[in-house]
Structures are given as C-alpha cells and as structure tokens.
Amino acid sequence: MQYKVRAILALLDELYPRAKCSLDFRNPLELLVATVLSAQCTDERVNMVTPELFRKYPTAGAYAGAPLEELENDIRSTGFYHNKAKSIKACCRILDERFGGRIPADLDVLVQLPGIGRKTANVILGNAFQVPGIVVDTHVARVAQRLGLTSQKDPEKIEQDLMVLIPRERWIKFSHQLIQHGRQLCQARKPKTEICPLRPYCDYAANMVTD
C-alpha cells in the first residue's frame, strides 16, 4: 500500500502542482463564511457573492448584528440560505462574545460552533492557519474510495484512514489535489477513467476491466 500511496502522490504532484483552496478570502473569518456558503453550492458561485458580503460585514460582530432576513437576502443565490444565514449569525455571535471576533485555531473548539463540522474546521485550519488536516468533502471521499485508500463511507472514518496513509506534511495539499482531481477527471457520474493518469493504481478502474 505504501508503494501505491507514493505513486499516487507523485502523480498528483505532476497533475496539480499548484492545487490550493478555490474559495477567495483574505482572513480566517472570510474563509469560515465562504466555507459555510459553499455547502451544496459551487465555489464559483460563492466567489461571486462574497466580495460584496465581505465589504458589508467586515467583522464577526457585523454578522451577529445583521437582521436575519437581510443576511438571507445577501446570500440567497448560494442556496439553503435560511440555514446558512442562521448558522453564520449564531457562529459569529459566539466568536464575537467569547473570542473577541477572532477565529480559534483549534479543531475541538471550531467543531463546537454552529454550522461548523470537521470538514469546515479542517478547511479553516489548513488554509488560514496552515494547521495540517485532511478535508473530506464529496470529491475527496469519492476519489479515495475509488483509489482503494479507504472502504469507509463515513467522512470522519475516511479522514482517519487517510491520516494513517498520507504523510502529515502532505495533508493540506493532498486534500486540494483530490478535490481538483474529483472535479476534473474523477466525477461522480461519468469519471474519465480511460484517460486518468491514476488508472494503474485505481481499484474502480480495475473492477471496470474485470466486470
């Protein structure tokens, strides 16, 4: 397995040498809000909404004090705006009251905040604070399963499997690379298996050949 992992990592470096977070942000608060908005929404759409949003709400206190209906209108085009607005307001109220408006660089603290799960927490920690973590979104889960790096379906269990296999210093970059690979080649419905450079190491491709 370690040989396979090394080969996969080398190929990912060739394919996506500059893989990084595709959400636009300038500070940890902006990244937190953008990541919440990205649920069930494309990063491209989020990046269209956030410039004006970030200008209007420059602090956690500004989000906390915003009328809920107004905030909902501001983020409406990202979908699920009722729940997202409630989560952002509730989360930012706690950040404002307990942390002086700052984002704590602590996974255990972050996951206690409204609307913040392990995936969002790892996005924030990795990209705003350079704290190693593996982000398990739908792309990472799908690609990791197809490559045979995990047989789990629960995101937290997938994360634990990948943390064992992938060197810690690679966790952040690896997450971005798998997300990019999932978007470009290993799509959910019509993966481009026939042209995928990772095909020699892919369980999904091997099963296609034998079926």
74, 84, 89, 137: the catalytic one is 137
74, 84, 96, 119: the catalytic one is 119
How far apart, in whole angstroms, are the C-alpha atoms of residue 20 and residue 15? 13
How far apart, in whole angstroms, are the C-alpha atoms of residue 16 and residue 149? 19
Name residues whose C-beta falls within 8 Å of residue 183's C-beta, 6 or more positions apart in sequence: 139
Distances (CA, A) of 83 to 15, 79, 194, 209: 37, 9, 40, 44
56 tagged catalytic: no
Residues in the chain: 211
Both structure tokens of 187: 């799509």
74 tagged catalytic: no
How far apart, in whole angstroms, are the C-alpha atoms of residue 3 and residue 140? 20
Name residues whose C-beta falls within 8 Å of residue 192's C-beta, 6 or more positions apart in sequence: 185, 186
Both structure tokens of 122: 């790892």
The H or E element spanning position 94 is helix 81-98
* Catalytic residue list: 119, 137
